[in-house]
Amino acid sequence: MTHALVFGKFLPLHRGHLALIDFARRHCDHLTVLVCASDLEQLPGSVRAGWLRETYAAHPEVHVQVLDYRENELPNTSVSSEAVAHAWAERFRQELPTVNLVVTSEPYGEMVAAWLGIRFLNFDPARVQVPVSATAIRADLQAHWQYLPGSVQDYYRRTVAILGTESTGKTTLTQQLAAHFGASSVAEAGRDLVAHSTEISRADLLAVASEHARRIAAAQATAGPLLLLDTDVHITQSYTRLLGEDYLELPAELYAINRADLYLYLQADVPLVDDGTRLSQTERLRLDALHRQTLTHFGIQYHEIGGVWPERFAQAVQLIELLLKQAATA
């Protein structure tokens, strides 16, 4: 039986790694993919292993294992060195004594195999098949987004919800931010399903919550690193209080789909533009208070955005840029 080994940081996992693993699968009976996680790396090995297990869930011949190590005991380097290869080979011998084939795209893999006294297969060392590296991805996540498998995209994608009472510019700001960041956005479902805010019913709100969740799920399938939501389920919920009724009973899955990493709440400090389908100024302010109560009720923390239109845009851009920067180093 051929027991092959593919090892690496997978920081992050990308389609080049998948091509390597698929190549290795074709040359063995059993494959161990070893995630080497240093104590100095921020992203846990368990997260990286989770990406791999999700990707290869339908392939029982692939076993994913984490090797946690300390860099003061085992060198963290991809530089071709006999001494480094020897150190790693001895650790692999302890962890995986039945391995008899090493498959890598790096020259040090051959050295490791030699120290172990087993076969070696080299795969696409020039990265012709998938021209990308984890280093390049970490440097510019958005430019290399297409090289990430779905499980990794889900981890790095950040969702921003634009909230606020009526006529505070949620839709306009969402569109401006989408254009600025080259991001996907989800349009408010309520405007399409309810003709006039004063004629809304509980049944309408249930339909809005369901449709908006469907739109978010559809957008998540193709969105890049940033997804913008024009309102969310909590805004829908607060309309029930405007009707004088209790909150809608909604499944936990719907809240999970609506979950955002950043909530921006637009203050009602801009002039009301009445298009004939929205609330009056008095009702707009009452709804504003209800929105805030609802967000507090559901434990949602938000950043307030105020001022004239250019100021709102600038504030939102600054907060989103910080969010994306943090995501890239998560």
pLDDT, tens digit only, all 330 positions of the chain? 999 999 999 999 999 999 999 999 999 999 999 999 999 999 999 999 999 999 999 999 999 999 999 998 888 765 668 889 999 999 999 999 999 999 999 888 999 999 999 999 999 888 889 999 999 999 899 899 999 999 999 999 999 999 999 889 999 999 999 999 999 999 998 777 775 666 789 999 999 999 999 999 999 999 999 999 999 999 999 999 999 999 999 999 999 999 999 999 999 998 766 665 667 788 889 999 999 999 999 999 999 999 999 999 999 999 999 999 998 877
Q: Which CATH number does the domain 157-328 belong to among 3.40.50.970, 3.40.50.300, 3.90.550.10, 3.30.565.10?
A: 3.40.50.300
The residue type at 171: T
Taking alpha carbons only, the member of 99, 116, 108 closest to residue 31 is 99
CATH 3.40.50.300 location in the chain = 157-328
The pLDDT assigned to 75 comes to: 84
The pLDDT assigned to 196 comes to: 67
Give the start-end residues of each E strand in the chain: 3-8, 30-38, 62-69, 101-104, 119-122, 158-164, 184-186, 226-230, 262-266, 303-305
The residue type at 230: D
Torsion, CA 240, CA 294, CA 213, CA 319, rounded to 10? 150
pTM for the structure as a whole: 0.87
Distance between CA atoms of residues 168 and 181, nearest Å = 21
- For domain 3-151, the CATH architecture is 3-Layer(aba) Sandwich (3.40)
CATH 3.40.50.620 location in the chain = 3-151
| Beta carbons within 8 Å of 287's beta carbon, 6+ residues apart | 165, 166, 238, 239, 242, 279
Taking alpha carbons only, the member of 172, 157, 173 closest to residue 315 is 173
The pLDDT assigned to 198 comes to: 65
Asked whether 324 and 230 are in contact (CB, 8 A), the reply is no
